[in-house]
Structure 1
């Protein structure tokens, strides 16, 4: 077949396939247009999962009647005019592709009215505006999605599945703008009604009040970026990432850099295979992020991805460091040590430390303590393991990793690009604990490596670190392996089950827990203590009933 130009209708349908994947894509594009128009109330009505009908109505500032035909044409937009505008875009839409893409694969009808003007309607296939009656704002109705693309329509899922995707999209949009009211109907039935409210109330409404009761507030402002939101404590984890929401400059995004930062922050407080719940809002100058990476605008590219990853990870680590029973100066204890048969003369409940004072040991595994709230149970091995781990980690982080000279230097075969990186990054690699020299086009010589690393593991680690530097311009391999080794050592040196502790030793352990960051979980992610309040005990024994 000779090369020929595609018909405009077919070209439009192909282009629409990148923007409109399923009914949820239509809702996303239309609601984002409403938000850009300053809407304060958005109502969404769908039928048959959105395949048969989607209607999005808002109270925004509307479209000028003369602009209605242009609104349905490709690459026509009111958001940007120049390349400089594209580099600093803050609106949710800007490509001028959404409405024409929807027109290419459905039967569309658009009604809009500006304040002080008359309402006008335009049909996607006709393109001639005509007057109608309508309140200020815009209403877009989409019928029979993919009616003219049978192969694409056959790939849509069942009605329930498509609606679940659509509902998830509405939830993300509602989380992005807590100050806007959202209403969602499906097949004539009210599904969601979110009034305009505070961000905290909106998150609690969508993710559950149980999560928000335990959630940890994140708020940090750097020189060029800021992060706010809520993250779940390690004990509130999930088997999937279904409750992780990231927003960059108000836009819901999926990004590997942000996921990597979260994994790094939770690396030693979560069980393997578990994921935290979180809602994070990252703000940075629009010039520092490329929102035009994909037509769906769900993927972004950061100009300084390593700085973003580090900032987010440090912010979350700072918030998680408060997951310990208490902080501040050592609490006052009277008497200093109590042996069996003695009694405490507690100064007052106000002076009582967060974990209180030890009462006894249970089966040589748990410490029973009394605090102002009631009864405290501590897994002494898990608690001691975290204390030792944090102590060793802090000692390591105070200095650089000095390479230990190998008795016999090891030659490692690498790619030419990786060998070139060794020459460029020699000082940086040395700070990571690797003394490398390029001795051939595709060979490097390892003269020194971290002292704790087994020699047979040196070639594997060198290749992994160089691959990280090539693809991501940073590497955390050495840090991750070192932390794994510290965790193993902490587990071996922590107090064992069945070991008898005196009350003085138990209280010393409680005080160390209060002064140690992240001491509410061991470094495997298990909880180290729990609280049973007097109210819980009264409820169990039915006191006062």
Structure 2
């Protein structure tokens, strides 16, 4: 074993670069974050050969004085923190003071800057860790950083770089995430001398939504809900996609904590639970969410690349995120998001605030007797009428839209026909509405079963023979700590040893379930997140099955009054835009889209 010795500064910086600088996009991240901390309002990023040959980041921030230029590339030198108290309240993107030192140790590095109020700019160069003296240069107020020949002196790292297209794609994705985080800043990206992206600074909510549409697609505004909710020192704002706007991959999920893009298991678990009742199996939600809280409530110094954070009040954050998203999704009803995709592209001003009435939502009343259809006063009050034999649907009636008065049309309009005993066709103010009658009725029945369960006391039953289960010590402690909460759900657990629990009582609704596996799942979530919805999820799965079997089936002929009653219940039922399995229950085709199908001009 060699003797202990101090490492040379160059090797220290290269080791740090191995932790922070994974690929060219890592360099772009560090440089752009420095520009944001410097108060830049415009940032230009020029890339050559996917970043292997050149990375140049230019900003119009406050700049760096000539006396501070050598310190800018020194290890652990920074203007962003000065004491441990500052580290406990980090409000800047960077704070370690090692990014420029690490980057300059594995590249041919140059920095040009002109500080605010100075008449001249100065340039310094670092070649493989060797700093050269500052000399005058020409540059407007702000800073430019050039990184050439990345990893030229670390051949092993350079061999792991991917193709030019792949590396640039990572840089492009990074700039998208930063553009969503700081909508007030203008970003420009070019590759090999050709402009690729220009994100103009957003001055209002309309422009901010337009930037979101540029990143997530033109269809996203029409398929999203706007959130802005604050409670207990936490504020959540941004846009969440409707369940029908989900994706096969989790590649359109942007979550920011105090402006910093993070990947956090607490956040991921809360979002997944919020969408559990409406998202199709195997699909992933789309969202751009900003969580703001006191900097002392989050530790950002837990990952070298600052990708992860640690919340001091993890359970509070988890419950706040879940409840906020769950309530937002619960308030969606069929007919609310009435604008079609074509309408949204024509005007991006379609953000739906949680606290404000939804565009297109119907709050009026109408006299159904005027339609001469014999609709019951309480729509679908007796679901047996849908499940039993129905009369003939061959009725003579006037077009509902012709009989309506101005402003009286409900969001989903009035039924006009049934197609193949599967779909309900309705006419509303925008055009044609198609409804999957089984999916829609299934959601209505499911929500009513859940309401009935909540309104009545949960019944539980004793096990004939108490069940002993081996668990981890952490899970056994969770069973002991949360015994009262579990009892409210009808699950009675008691700790019988360091890593053993005994199940004595279970909810009556879950008779026949795998008690051991259910208990382990519940305790695992309690131990990890401090809360669990596993019992409720299992019960919901059972209620969903009951709703599926108790709903009107495809092939069942409905009368016009029954169809209208179904439409009215859809408008009044939470989450009625999707069935229990996450499939859409209705589709809107406006007149412009119908005209396009027949190549009509208006």
Range moving further from structure 2, 482-491 or 399-408 = 399-408
- Describe the shift of the 1:159–1:530 C-alpha distance in structure 2 as closer, same or farther (beyond 3 A): same
Range moving further from structure 2, 47-56 or 301-310 = 301-310
Matches within 5 A, 1:194-273: 194-197=199-202, 198-273=207-282
Aligned to 2:396: 341
Matching residue within 323, 331, 338 for 2:365: 331
1:398 positional shift: 4.2
Matching residue within 500, 505, 510 for 2:567: 510
Aligned to 2:134: 129
Range moving further from structure 2, 400-409 or 225-234 = 400-409
Matching residue within 423, 426, 444 for 1:369: 426
- Describe the shift of the 1:349–1:110 C-alpha distance in structure 2 as closer, same or farther (beyond 3 A): same
Does residue 149 of the first structure (1) align with residue 150 of the second (2)? no
Contact 2:332 2:577 in 1 (8 A): no
Range moving further from structure 2, 411-420 or 255-264 = 411-420
1:461 positional shift: 1.2
Give ranges in structure 2 of 5+ residues lacking alignment: 337-360, 375-394
The alignment partner of 2:82 has SS state of coil
CA distance in 2, matches of 1:416, 1:539: 64
Range moving further from structure 2, 123-132 or 248-257 = 123-132
CA distance in 1, matches of 2:200, 2:473: 59
The alignment partner of 2:468 has SS state of strand
Does residue 277 of the first structure (1) align with residue 286 of the second (2)? yes
Aligned to 1:13: 14
Contact 1:182 1:195 in 2 (8 A): yes
Superposition RMSD on alpha carbons, in Å? 2.0
State the TM-score, normalized to the length of structure 2: 0.86
1:155 positional shift: 0.9
Matching residue within 301, 305, 323 for 2:310: 301
CA distance in 1, matches of 2:138, 2:363: 69
Aligned to 1:178: 183
1:203 positional shift: 1.1
- Describe the shift of the 1:243–1:395 C-alpha distance in structure 2 as closer, same or farther (beyond 3 A): same
The alignment partner of 2:579 has SS state of coil
Matching residue within 493, 498, 502 for 1:436: 493
Contact 1:334 1:346 in 2 (8 A): no
1:153 positional shift: 1.0
CA distance in 2, matches of 1:250, 1:133: 33
CA distance in 1, matches of 2:192, 2:300: 34
Aligned to 1:4: 4
1:542 positional shift: 4.6
Aligned to 1:82: 83
Aligned to 1:159: 164
Range moving further from structure 2, 69-78 or 230-239 = 230-239
Range moving further from structure 2, 451-460 or 278-287 = 451-460
The alignment partner of 1:452 has SS state of helix
CA distance in 1, matches of 2:419, 2:563: 12
After superposition, give the CA deviation of every residue in 1:481-534 in whole Å (9 maximum; x if it has no partner): 122111111111111111222222221111110100111111111111112323
After superposition, give the CA deviation of every residue in 1:352-389 in whole Å (9 maximum; x if it has no partner): 11112222222221112222222222111000000011
Does residue 322 of the first structure (1) align with residue 356 of the second (2)? no
Aligned to 1:191: 196
Does residue 106 of the first structure (1) align with residue 116 of the second (2)? no
CA distance in 2, matches of 1:48, 1:539: 43
CA distance in 2, matches of 1:420, 1:541: 67
- Describe the shift of the 1:542–1:438 C-alpha distance in structure 2 as closer, same or farther (beyond 3 A): closer
Range moving further from structure 2, 29-38 or 222-231 = 222-231
After superposition, give the CA deviation of every residue in 1:460-494 in whole Å (9 maximum; x if it has no partner): 11122222222222222112212211111111111
Contact 1:106 1:146 in 2 (8 A): yes
Contact 2:333 2:570 in 1 (8 A): no
The alignment partner of 1:102 has SS state of helix
1:401 positional shift: 4.3
Contact 1:112 1:119 in 2 (8 A): yes
Contact 2:333 2:573 in 1 (8 A): no
After superposition, give the CA deviation of every residue in 1:281-337 in whole Å (9 maximum; x if it has no partner): 111111111111111111111112222222222222233222422566573233176
Range moving further from structure 2, 252-261 or 98-107 = 252-261
- Describe the shift of the 1:54–1:400 C-alpha distance in structure 2 as closer, same or farther (beyond 3 A): farther
After superposition, give the CA deviation of every residue in 1:251-291 in whole Å (9 maximum; x if it has no partner): 11112222222212221222111112211111111111111
The alignment partner of 1:489 has SS state of helix
Contact 1:175 1:203 in 2 (8 A): yes
The alignment partner of 2:301 has SS state of coil
Kindly tell me the number of residue pairs found equivalent between the two proteins: 545
- Describe the shift of the 1:49–1:439 C-alpha distance in structure 2 as closer, same or farther (beyond 3 A): same
The alignment partner of 1:530 has SS state of strand
Contact 1:403 1:430 in 2 (8 A): no
CA distance in 1, matches of 2:477, 2:274: 31
CA distance in 2, matches of 1:507, 1:40: 54
